[in-house]
């Protein structure tokens, strides 16, 4: 099946979007790799190219002005169809590319070599590629180096994904939560939109660990994460901030709406016996809620205010 929107392509796009890297600013970790590729292989251009549904977008680029091109004219679309390197010695002599606007016009591609960025789960989400404006060959040693550098790109992406995902609950880590909240705050500021923050933690959770053991406590945290996620919208950001504390950032939501959501979560936790096949217990949770104010610049501003409200709730019982 060669259609772009088959099940394999749907899975590939889902894998790409999971890394949340499209349309992010340049980063030295990736620029270092493309600089090395350009220098070591003595080419005009080097790119980290990610293949989205209808475009290729460059996370890193050396000696190229464009930040993206249409997918249907990209060499990298062909490169991700195989796990092997795609090498085009002279695009003018290749019937697939000789009339390509990237060949007939800027950047006047002649030589192309691209290695797929293959994730651990097997999906090719893009390429590390080098481009020259003159025909040339790629030696075995150069190909080997390109493969190694492509692996470094994948390693960087996958290590970041691990750092951004809480291994116990599958929720965002505090780092990921803060990062996405900052982007949402900037968006809300730009378009004069509302947003709110909820923080909650499980009451007397230390006694759960002390009484039933940490393995049972981990089960509780996973189950709470699951039942709360089911109560939230797909646009809401849900993270484990540390220990038994959780955060929810709610775009397009004023404080009244966030209060209603918090009350839903509170009732869900209180009314749902949680545990394993051998033991179920009932828990309660305390909540703090705040909305984006005119003076908030970073997520820390909302977190501190919501955290203060949380401890006021705890003090009030």
- 3-class SS of residue 305: helix
260 noted as active-site residue: no
**Contact by Cβ (8 Å): 196, 291:** yes
* 156, 244, 245, 291: the active-site residue: 244
Q: Which helix (H) or strand (E) holds 248?
A: strand 245-251
Among the listed residues 98, 96, 121, 118, the one whose alpha carbon sits nearest the alpha carbon of residue 109 = 98
Q: What letter would DSSP give residue 279?
A: -
Task: Calculate the alpha carbon distances from 203 to 80, 132, 225, 311, 315 in Å.
Answer: 50, 62, 15, 11, 11
Which tokens belong to 167?
A: 């291994």
How far is C-alpha 298 from the geometric centre of its chain's CA atoms? 19
Counting other chains too, the contacts that 165-173 makes at CB distance below 8 Å and 24 or more residues apart are 166/239, 166/240, 168/218, 168/221, 168/222, 168/240, 169/221, 169/222, 169/225, 169/240, 170/225, 171/225, 171/229, 171/238, 171/239, 171/240, 171/246, 172/237, 172/238, 172/239, 172/240, 173/239, 173/240
Provide the annotated active-site residues. Answer: 244
């Amino acid at each position: 099946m060669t259609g772009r929107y088959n099940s394999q392509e749907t899975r590939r796009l889902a894998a790409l979007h999971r890394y949340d890297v499209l349309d992010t600013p340049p980063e030295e970790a990736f620029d270092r790799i493309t600089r090395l590729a350009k220098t070591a292989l003595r080419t005009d251009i080097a790119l980290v190219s990610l293949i989205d549904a209808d475009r290729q977008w460059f996370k890193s680029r050396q000696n190229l002005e464009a930040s993206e091109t249409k997918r249907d004219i990209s060499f990298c679309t062909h490169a991700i169809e195989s796990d092997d390197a795609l090498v085009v010695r002279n695009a003018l002599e290749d019937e697939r590319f000789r009339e390509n606007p990237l060949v007939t016009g800027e950047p006047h591609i002649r030589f192309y070599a691209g290695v797929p960025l293959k994730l651990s789960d097997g999906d090719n989400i893009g390429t590390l590629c080098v481009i020259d404006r003159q025909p040339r060959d790629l030696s075995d040693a150069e190909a080997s180096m390109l493969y190694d550098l492509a692996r470094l790109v994948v390693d960087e992406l996958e290590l970041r994904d691990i750092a951004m995902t809480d291994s116990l609950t599958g929720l965002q880590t505090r780092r990921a939560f803060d990062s996405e909240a900052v982007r949402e705050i900037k968006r809300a500021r730009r378009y004069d939109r509302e947003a709110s923050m909820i923080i909650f933690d499980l009451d007397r959770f230390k006694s759960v660990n002390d009484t039933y053991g940490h393995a049972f406590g981990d089960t509780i945290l996973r189950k709470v994460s699951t039942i709360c996620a089911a109560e939230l919208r797909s646009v809401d950001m849900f993270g484990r901030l540390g220990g038994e504390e959780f955060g929810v950032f709610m775009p397009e939501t004023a404080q009244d709406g966030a209060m209603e959501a918090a009350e839903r979560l509170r009732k869900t936790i209180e009314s749902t016996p949680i545990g394993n096949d051998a033991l179920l217990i009932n828990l309660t949770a305390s909540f703090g809620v705040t909305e984006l104010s005119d003076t908030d610049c970073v997520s820390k501003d909302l977190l501190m205010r919501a955290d203060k409200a949380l401890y006021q709730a705890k003090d009030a019982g």
